Structure 1
Amino acid sequence: MGINARHFRQYVVRPTLQEMGMWSEAAENLMMGIAATESHLGEFLKQHNDGPAVGVFQVEPATAADVILRYLDEREDLDDRFQDAFRLLDDRDLDWGDISLDRITEKLVTDLRFSCAVARVRLWMVPEPLPAAHNIPGLARYWKQHYNTAGGKGTAEKFIRDYREMVA
């Protein structure tokens, strides 16, 4: 059994997105759906079959490093929001180049807000706008196309089912 969905939304997802200035009802619902379908709201913190993804949002550490080291480095406005809101790795003056994949992996597994922030920034990089907040099939398709990818084993149908069972 995973984390209580109402608590996860109220104490992790919504405040994380709000502090980053990336909140919308659609973004919140998408993040809840991702956590539900990727990890059953935290029931699984490591990808099945020894895959690299970890944490509630099943982010691959290499993807997180790319988000942090490449995208945030190019977007100072987001870099500042990301660091200030979450005191990334407990150091406001962090040198991004000093982050190891082991440390990123640890943070993705143990820090719910960090994991949520990385997953949200990853989706912020996508130029396509989010579907409407209550269009769960649309959010499922968006997740499949931009987060799970065409080669991923997840399906939009599973996202919808997991969302309805665990979140709605």
Structure 2
Amino acid sequence: MLTGKLVRLRALETSDAESLYRWIHDPEVGQWMNNSHPRSLDQVRKRCEERTVNTYSHVVLGIESVTSGELIGVIDLRDAEPETGRAELDIYIGEKDHWNGGYGTEAMRLMCRYGFNVMRLHLIALWVVADNERARHVYRKVGFVEDGRHRECFRGSDGKYYDMYLMSLLEPELVD
């Protein structure tokens, strides 16, 4: 487990399925995410039960509040390759009452430190919808910089197309 003042990053458990199910069906939580077709609670449970173990190429961790022990989100490093020292990061805070207060920022810092120190990554990248200013603010606060813009590549739940930014972070750029 990776622990900070606000959050603890830990492996996901089968018992987390109910929270994941609730979040993936909440339009506000999923507004800026690529969601698949609707899934039943049983399907989400089965996916949790069959989840592969974390490996170098894909590390998925739950974000837990240190004070309450409640699962509040998910973060992962995926597509990591030791040959390139690069991985992509995804994060979401599913519990809306934790959207402010530094939970996402601390989870990002913990996961990036893990990527640089343990996985020996050189670069961590992510994609973010241009209109998702809350997320972009957190990413910039951690040290990510905008590398480029991909035009109209994300289709929102409102049917509109949005631009996305590619952002990246090198180890010396991580802001504590």
TM-score (norm 1): 0.28
Structure with the higher helix share, 1 or 2: 1
Higher relative CO (Cα under 8 Å, sequence separation at least 6) belongs to 1
Q: Which has the larger radius of gyration?
A: 2
Task: Name the structure with the higher strand share.
Answer: 2
Q: Normalising by the residue count of structure 2, what TM-score does the alignment of the two structures yield? A: 0.27
